[in-house]
Structure 1
């Protein structure tokens, strides 16, 4: 499988969330060889979308001549598009949002009704693509935190999507937390292997991965400096 990983964290490889993503990819590689390309979005020249819609009328040609042309080409050549990013203000970090906005050339101005909503008809064939979102946050749990990002991802990619959201993710960059983070990464690795083999992740396994690693109040106390580690 050809996998394009879009790392939306400004921390690049030091991203808390990338610990989760790397474990997932390791699991996939256990099941079968994978062709993985990781792109740090922060390092790419991506201009902001101006909303001119020229790309939707002229066969996908954007007014900006930047790195998005190459990235969109790689998107269409991939089998799995994996968005890996930390939760910023309940959504994507700004550089990744700029990337998402600039995917407009993939669709045309023409619309069609799909269920209860209208969508733009594609200018390119990306029916073969699968989509994954791996997102971590620094809150003690997932309640009323990930919902906006999850809904946005589902609306962007209504088909063939898989979503992993993990609270307490800064612990993955804390060596002293290895006692709880390493078992969690092993579960993520198991999920990656399962996904590579079946195209899905067992619901119970996904629920366990997305649950807090330590009691919520203990994590909050550590973050607040009330408990020294």
Structure 2
């Protein structure tokens, strides 16, 4: 499956982000399956004002009161097939710059609401039914327990359909060359996931579980992070 992929890098570290190692491997896997059109945007480089909740955009055809980079970013969203959100876990959620971007996508919907299942959603002002959504999030904790849940819940509420989520603990190791012995095999699994996604539109639950498991024993990682001596 060939797609126009818009990578929205929410890390303030931009291309040096721990999580971008994961995203690059995933996109490589997609490109193994079929040629892809990929555009990476570092959100930290963009001028994005905070949403002020005036709802002007919902009443006048999607025109925001702010004159910044969001208009061109919204245009690019609508031209894409896959929105790949890459971000590290900050305060159990996404970094502030990416959250500001998310809030400024309000012009894509209007004030009217409709009931979908048990919840209400705003009716779109633009056609984005074709879009798929993928979240790749890493954290610095030794495992995924009690860490990713708020970010995952928010992503599912934001994009209730056609979403895929990859979470990876111990992600700072991707920026440590000495950890290659464990990070390279993990990135190969991520690359396989990218291939699966491009070929079938899905990633197997078993592969997602492998990617989301600790790369080294939790106690060892915690000891290293705490600056403690680790026995060989």
TM-score category (smaller protein): over 0.9
Q: Which residue of 1 aligns with 2:193?
A: 191
* Mapped partners of 1:4, 1:210: distance in 2: 23
Deviation at 1:227, TM superposition (A): 2.7
Which string of whole-angstrom CA distances, capped at 9 and with x for unpartnered residues, describes residues 137-191 of structure 1? 0000001100000000000000000000000000000000000000000000000
Write the mapping of 1:110-125 to structure 2, written as runs, cut at 5 A. 110-125=112-127
Which string of whole-angstrom CA distances, capped at 9 and with x for unpartnered residues, describes residues 55-81 of structure 1? 011110000010000000000000000
Which string of whole-angstrom CA distances, capped at 9 and with x for unpartnered residues, describes residues 26-64 of structure 1? 000000000000000000000000000010111100000
* Mapped partners of 2:111, 2:104: distance in 1: 15
Write the mapping of 1:1-229 to structure 2, written as runs, cut at 5 A. 1-227=3-229
Deviation at 1:116, TM superposition (A): 1.0
CA RMSD of aligned residues (A): 0.8
State the SS of the aligned residue for 2:101.
helix
Deviation at 1:196, TM superposition (A): 0.3
Structure 1 runs not aligned, ≥5 long: none
* Mapped partners of 1:219, 1:57: distance in 2: 51
* Mapped partners of 1:120, 1:227: distance in 2: 54
State the SS of the aligned residue for 1:85.
strand
* Mapped partners of 1:227, 1:184: distance in 2: 25
* Mapped partners of 1:23, 1:34: distance in 2: 14
